[in-house]
Every structure is written in structure tokens, then in C-alpha cells.
Amino acid sequence: MFRSLKHPGALAVTLAAAGILMITMGMRQSIGLYLSPINTSTGLGIVTLSLALAIGQFVWGAIQPVAGALADRHGPRGVLFGGVLLLALATALTPLMRSGLGLGITLGVLSAAGAGAASFSVLIGAAAQRLPAEARGTASGVINAGGSFGQFVFAPIIQKLIQGLGWMGAMWATAALTLAALPLVGRLTARTQAAMPHPEPDGGLKHAVRTAFADRSYWLLHAGFFTCGFHIAFLVTHLPGEVDLCGLPPSVASWSLAIIGLANIFGSLYAGAAVAKYRSKHVLAWMYGSRAVLVIAYLLLPKTDWTFYAFAAGLGFTWLATVPPTATLVGKLFGARYLGTLFGMTLLSHQIGGFMGAWLGGLAITQFGDYQWMWYADIVLAAGAALVNLPIREGGVARPATA
């Protein structure tokens, strides 16, 4: 699997980027653990706090193309340092906020912007520019697995910190812990890991963006990734509610989410290896199609705890494993020079889909008393995403050069 990372410095670059994502994504994916303690402490109400986190979902996606463009134009070093420091600062300031507006600024804007600036688009773009073409797919899989591993590791750590130090102490402790990413930023962007020369013509950032949005394949890729965001946000937000509707204990929901994170580590590594062997569009079509099949199977099976665990394991394997083939496709279509910007645009599409999935799920449970129509919509969208990826223009799989 890691044979393509034997290029000098490739493994160091990949692991540094994975470590940064482990910290920023681990922080971001565990923020929900603070919801109840903050509500108890401030009395602001779940609706107000949920709005702050919902704003954060959108800001995290919206900052991706901006951060990617800055990294493509000025280099990733300053963007990554700034993102990590902003995340740490926002986390440290959050316990001082006593109003919905204040928490909306720290949790919804500053924290999400910091985590987004040190996330997928900049990290995968920075790594791709420092790696040969045949190593990029595997590297993106390892980097993506780092984010899933962060979710798996940070959740229990933060829960223990909340129990031992209270939510304010836990926030300050994790703010300090976030700074551990700074040495990794230095390692990723060190002069010894300077960007490799690539043969793509450089017509400038504006030309690259215009070229991308004039390409039908780029729009098809966005449509598929929109569906991915819809699917993930719906499940992350409303799976606990679905478990409750089925008369099962809340522990089933928490274990299901943990299984999703664990399974995605393996799925991300597999996806990174698969794009080195197969066309990325076929990998994506298979992933989206499998989600439609899994949801159909879930609807037909009896609703037991083991049904949810098996469902979570199947979904987790492709959860965010769509990132490596999507990033690889963007690189194949338009080169690595402006990958941070162009992949950031696709991540924005992902988060717009996520906003819709979370919001419409809430409307569905309010209007109909269950999520049945959301499951139907998820099946249709997943099947559609599988189909729209097939016409994407893609060349062959990159192979290592031989003498």
C-alpha cells in the first residue's frame, strides 16, 4: 500500500500532514461533547448553541477555498500556522463567552475558520505539490485516515478532561494541546520538503478557477461531493434521534458513531491505495452506490443494536474515504499547482450539502414524526452520485516512472 511513498521525503510529508489533520479534525469532530455542559453552565438553550455549531459547519467549508487560494499563492506555511493558532485562540476564548453572539463568534466563526484553514484543502494541496504524481493518491488516503484517527482519539480524551476539569478547563487544556500541531507544520513545509516541479502550465489562479468551472467534469464532481456532505451531516446530526425512535438506548448511537470513525480509518487507507490502481471516478461510483444499497438494507432489516452496528461499519468504510479519490481527480483534471483552491471549492459543495442534510432532517422529524422521507432522499441522491461520476473525464492511473 505504501510502496508509492518510498520517494525521498514522501512518507515524512504525508505523516506530518496526517498528524496536523488528526489534531484539527479531532478537535472539530468532538465539539458536540461540550454542548450539554455549556448549556448547563450558561443556560443559553440547545437551539442557540446548535445555531453556533451550525454556523461552524458552513464556515469550515467556506474557508476551504479561501485558505487553499492563499496557500497556492503564498505557500501553505503561513496559512497552516495561522489556522492552528486561530483554532487554539478561539478554543481558549470560548469559556469566557456568556452570550449566544459570543459563542457564535468563537465556536461558529473563529474556531471553524482555524480548523478549516488547517484542514483537507491546504494539507492535501501542500502534500501533493511535494510528491510525485503516483504517490498523491496513497498520501491523500493516509492524510484522510489521520483525520478519522483524530476523531477516534480525541473524543474519549476530551470526555475525560470534561469530567476531570469541567468544560472550561477542558477547553483550555485542548487549546494548549492544539499547539502540538505547530512543529508538524514546520516539518511539512520545511525547506527540505520544497515543492516539486510539475509540468502543468501556470496561467495564474484566476485562469485555473475559470478553467475548472468551465469543465463539465468538475461540476459532476461537485454534484457527487454535495451528496456526500448531505449524507454525512444527516447521519451525524440525526442518527441519535433515529436510534431513539427505534426504542434503543443512547449508547447504541454513541457506539455506532465510534464504529463509523474506526471503520473510516481503514476505508481511507483502502481508498488511497485504490486510486493508485483504478480510476478514481470508478472508486467514487462504487462508494456512493454502496451507500444506497446499505440504506435500503437498513430499512428492510429489523431495528436492533447489531443492525445499527453493522450499518455503521458499512457506512464508515466510505464515510470520508471519498476525499482521496475526489482530491486525486481534481489533481488529474487540473494539476497540483492550484489543488488547494480547486479542491477547496469541492469541499464547500460538500458542506453546503451537509447544511441541507442537517436542516432538512430537522424539518422531516418535525413535520412527519420520523426520518422516512430523508432515507428515501438519501437513497436517490447516493444512486445519482454514483451515476454522475461515471461520465467524468479522467485519464489512466499514474504509474511510477522507470528508467
Please give the CATH number for the structural domain made up of 1-190.
1.20.1250.20
Give the residue from 329, 136, 115, 103 showing the smallest Cα distance to 218. Answer: 329
- CA distance linking residue 287 with residue 122, whole number of Å: 24
CB-based burial of residue 282 (10 Å sphere; 0-12 exposed, 13-18 middle, 19+ buried)? middle
What single DSSP character describes residue 397? Answer: -
- CA distance linking residue 362 with residue 238, whole number of Å: 8
The C-alpha cell of 242 is what? 433515529
- CA distance linking residue 184 with residue 399, whole number of Å: 29
- CA distance linking residue 271 with residue 336, whole number of Å: 19
* Biggest CA-to-CA distance, the chain: 68
- CA distance linking residue 127 with residue 13, whole number of Å: 6
Q: What is the pLDDT of residue 82?
A: 93
Backbone angles phi, psi at 401, to 5 degrees: -70, 145
Residue pair 5/138 in contact by the 8 Å Cβ criterion:
yes
Per-residue model confidence as pLDDT tens for the chain (403 residues):
455 555 556 778 888 888 999 998 888 877 767 877 888 888 887 677 777 877 887 888 888 888 888 887 888 889 999 999 999 999 999 999 888 899 889 988 999 999 989 887 788 878 877 777 777 777 877 888 888 888 778 877 887 888 889 989 999 999 999 999 999 988 888 754 445 455 555 567 788 888 888 889 999 999 999 999 898 888 877 787 888 889 988 778 777 877 888 898 888 888 878 887 888 899 999 999 999 999 999 999 999 999 999 999 999 898 888 888 898 888 888 877 777 788 888 888 888 888 788 778 877 887 888 889 999 999 999 999 999 999 998 764 444 444 3
Helices 76-93 and 10-29 meet at what angle, rounded to 10?
Answer: 30
Residue pair 159/292 in contact by the 8 Å Cβ criterion:
no
Q: Where are the alpha helices (DSSP H) in 214-338?
A: 216-245, 250-274, 280-300, 305-318, 323-334
Fold match between domain 1-190 and domain 203-394: yes
The CATH superfamily holding the domain 203-394 is: MFS general substrate transporter like domains (1.20.1250.20)
Residue pair 188/126 in contact by the 8 Å Cβ criterion:
yes
Domain boundaries, the chain: 1-190, 203-394
- Sequence-separated (6 or more) residues with CB below 8 Å from residue 161: 169, 170, 173, 174
pTM for this model (two decimals) = 0.73
